[in-house]
């Protein structure tokens, strides 16, 4: 198995962590919309990469 897949999965998990990070009541509260957008983009991009690699693997065999 390709070891890059685990890196992509870790990136997806870190995207979910950015979406759910509680910033209310801290000095970083103004960054909450930015972290949510970055988290959503991270999850989407790396999920699409995993789907692409999976489909590519299926059709190459």
> In the chain, where are the structural domains located?
4-60
pLDDT in tens, 34-60: 999 999 999 999 999 999 999 998 998
pTM above 0.75, yes or no: yes
- For residues 55 and 34, give the distance between their C-alpha atoms in angstroms, rounded to a whole number: 32
Alpha-carbon distances of 28 from 2, 15, 37, 47, rounded to whole Å: 37, 18, 15, 28
- In this prediction, residue 33 carries a pLDDT of 93
pLDDT range class, residue 2, cuts 50, 70, 90: confident
Please give the distance of CA 5 from its chain centroid, rounded to a whole number. 12
Neighbours of 42 (CB within 10 A): 19
* Closest among 7, 52, 33 to 60, alpha carbons compared: 52
């Amino acid at each position: 198995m390709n070891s890059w897949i685990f890196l992509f999965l870790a990136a997806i998990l870190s995207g979910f962590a950015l979406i759910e990070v509680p910033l209310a009541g801290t000095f970083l509260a103004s960054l909450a919309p930015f972290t949510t957008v970055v988290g959503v983009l991270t999850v989407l991009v790396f999920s699409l990469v995993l789907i692409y690699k999976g489909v590519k693997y299926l059709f190459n065999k």
